[in-house]
Structure 1
Amino acid sequence: MNIDDIVNKIANFIRNTESKNHKKNSHKSGGTNNKLFNIVVLILIGILLVIGNNYFKSTTATVSTTFKNKNTADENMISSNELNIRSIQSYEEKLTNKLKNILEKIDGVGKVDVMIYFESGEEKIPAININDSNSITDESDNNGGKRKINQSNNGRTIVMLNKGQETEPFITKTYEPKITGICIVAEGAKNKITELRIRQAVVNLFNLSEKKVNVYPMKN
């Protein structure tokens, strides 16, 4: 029984009791009935308040738990995305610094600034649990007909690892972001031979075509 049913029953009880009290002719009897009526009404109101209080407490607790779980999931997702972004940025910075340092060691190059362009972020390959099944069923009917049913089920699920209260995919391989172009500004690039040496070094290091490597002289 919900709260609405209880309220309706109390209202009907009050109406019926008032109707009976109006039919009473004796003042003494009417006074006694009024006292009894008031006591019953107070008891019913008290019961209603207790039930209502418990109902709203339960509802509030459920809503709070739901929002808490949702917020926790959102926080875990945000945390995972932030870690991926930081990992990519760290890789880009390390690669840029390595290229800068190696180019500056070439005779005649001088000071160097490097910018590397990437097509996308790193790609992670998770472990896959393969569960394939194949069943063949031979059926025959009353008329002598026969048929063969071949049913195949392909099951693929990502293998997950438990880390405390969180789960994450088990990564078997990680592909670094693909480089689409490199821009280099060097002090010694005014010399055409030095510029060519810089370009060839970068092309060979990253297996890029020459048109994807731009080399410019640094402003004085």
Structure 2
Amino acid sequence: MFKKINFNEKEKKKLISLLVIGALCVISLVAINFLQGKQETSKTNQEESVAKQNEEGDSKVSSEKDDLEKQLTAILQEINGSGDVSVMITYDNSEEIEPAYNSSATKETTSETDSSGGERTVETSSENKTLVTSDSSNPIVIKTKEAKIKGVLVVASGAKDAQVKQTLYEAVQTALQISGHQVEVYAK
């Protein structure tokens, strides 16, 4: 069934070289596949940590928004004649968080000229972005952009009096640094 094949020395060297090259190719493919899987896992973990931080940030932002309403309510109730006060603040957008990235870009240009005078230029560029994380694997935040206030509604029992209403109106503008058209004060 199988015949014994006799190779001379030159053919043995070629066969061994081909087998070594084939083994190196297989090892390289396995290593590349393993490294890509590791990078994808790393990217997935980073994306999950950013999503987790955004969720935590959203609950923190809503808590801060509620705190701002409570603070404003408390301070407006201190105004003489204001009585019972309720405050509602609306926002134009939510808080934006910008995480830090390490990025590296490479650009390679190759020019070739063939024997008949033709010229070819090939440009290759690549960019690699990696999320920067702290020791606890949380992304490092470069800057946080606060939510923009769209409008404020104040309802107070003392707002029947024009002077109290004007004082509440000005107090909200001053406290939140917003313009007058964004504030409405009504009587209870």
**TM-score interval w.r.t. the shorter chain?**
0.5 to 0.7
1:145-164 to 2 correspondence within 5 Å?
Answer: 145-163=118-136
Find the aligned partners of 2:135 and 2:93 in 1 and give their Cα distance.
Answer: 28
Give the paired residue count: 142
Gaps of 5+ in 2: 1-44
Shift of 1:77: 9.2
- Choose from 182, 197, 204 the match for 2:174: 204
Q: Provide the TM-score with structure 2 as the length reference.
A: 0.62
In the alignment, the residues of structure 2 paired with residue 135 and residue 162 of structure 1 have an alpha-carbon distance, to the nearest angstrom, of 35
Partner of residue 158, structure 2: 188
Q: Distance in 1 between matches of 2:123 and 2:65?
A: 51
Higher RCO (CA < 8 A, seq sep 6+)? 2
Partner deviation per Cα, 1:80-114 (whole Å, 9 max, x = no partner): 56533431232012211221222223333233211
- Aligned residues with identical type, % of pairs: 33
| Superposed displacement of residue 136, structure 1 | 2.1
Indicate the SS of the match to 1:106. Answer: coil
* 2:90 is equivalent to residue 117 of structure 1: yes
Question: For 1:144-181, what per-residue CA distance to the aligned partner results, in whole angstroms no more than 9, with x for missing partners?
Answer: 22333333323333223352xxx332212222322211
Structure 2 equivalent of residue 97 of structure 1: 70
1:133 aligns with 2:106: yes
Q: Shift of residue 143 of structure 1?
A: 0.9
- Alignment gaps of 5+ in structure 1: 1-72
User: What CA distance in whole angstroms lies between the structure 2 residues aligned with 1:145 and 1:95?
Assistant: 70
Quote the Cα distance in structure 2 between the aligned partners of 1:161 and 1:76.
Answer: 11
| Conserved? CA contact 2:96–2:147, under 8 Å | yes
The RMSD of aligned alpha carbons is 2.8
Question: Superposed, which structure 2 residues align to 1:1-220 within 5 Å?
Answer: 83-163=56-136, 167-218=137-188
Question: Partners in 2 of 1:170 and 1:200 — Cα distance?
Answer: 39
Instruction: Please state how far the C-alpha of 1:190 moved relative to its aligned partner.
Output: 0.8
Q: Which has the higher helix share?
A: 1
Name the SS of the counterpart of 2:81 in structure 1. Answer: coil
Task: Tell me the amino acid that sits aligned with residue 148 of structure 2.
Answer: K
Could you state the TM-score of these two structures normalised by the residue count of structure 1?
0.54
